[in-house]
A and B are shown apart, each in its own frame.
Chain A
């Protein structure tokens, strides 16, 4: 089955710890994205990457970091510098042929900072 996987589904961390969220896709898509969603709100873009070894900051990149060493993988690290990290994190991918806005989303990771 082609799709996007995110792991883990639920993640708990202590304040002050870094944590890495996984995102893998086997759709052969060029572009990948990370969004954050807070309760009752829409999605906000954290980072995106259109090709391997290149990525761009989105609207709320502070306190986050990413890497794109492989086309299939786009992990997100939530650092201790992120002031309010508890949220629902969503990864997505798309192709240039799809005009980039036809994005496929993973199931999400719900991060809770204790």
Chain B
């Protein structure tokens, strides 16, 4: 499984877009990019995932570069409730094991 690299922390002003980067330069062709977040002392929450194309849902947008070596999670209008640790995970889609491999993620602080 491809490893991911994320900055340890980021700040964002409330109401502005939060852009969280993730490098996965060793990603293989059948590996998906997943994003989760964990608000303090709670269980992680699934946000979005993608393979090649950019994806958007009610929570966020995922932009994957054409060479798939990096991606960016975009929270279009960050609120204070978006303060959390964000995890970028790369896994083979529909894999038989299903276990997620969490690194330390990026701690996003949204400030008023």
Q: Which of B19-27, B59-67, B68-76, B97-105 contacts A (4 or more CB under 8 A)?
A: B97-105
Q: How large is the interface on B (under 10, 10 to 19, 20 to 34, 35 or more residues)?
A: 20 to 34
Q: How large is the interface on A (under 10, 10 to 19, 20 to 34, 35 or more residues)?
A: 20 to 34
CA distance A1 to B44 in the complex (A): 18
Tell me the minimal C-beta distance from A7 to chain B in angstroms: 14
CA distance A48 to B97 in the complex (A): 8
- Mostly, the A contact residues are strand
| Nearest B residue to A95, CB-CB | B98
Q: Which residues of A contact B104 (CB under 8 A)?
A: 40-42
- Known contacts A42-B105, A101-B91, A101-B93: does B42 contact A50 (CB below 8 Å)? no
Tell me the minimal C-beta distance from A26 to chain B in angstroms: 16
* In contact, B98 and A94 (Cβ under 8 angstroms): yes
- Known contacts A43-B102, A94-B98: does B93 contact A105 (CB below 8 Å)? no
Task: Please report which residues of chain B, range 42-63, place their CB below 8 angstroms from some CB of chain A when the two chains form the complex.
Answer: 42-46, 49
* In contact, B46 and A103 (Cβ under 8 angstroms): yes
Assess whether B95 is interfacial by the CB under 8 Å rule.
yes
CA distance A68 to B19 in the complex (A): 40
CA distance A110 to B40 in the complex (A): 13
Assess whether A45 is interfacial by the CB under 8 Å rule.
yes
CA distance A103 to B97 in the complex (A): 12
Tell me the minimal C-beta distance from B71 to chain A in angstroms: 15
Task: A102-B49, A105-B43 are known; give 10 further A-B pairs, CB within 8 A.
Answer: A35-B102, A40-B104, A42-B105, A48-B97, A48-B98, A101-B91, A103-B46, A103-B100, A104-B46, A106-B43
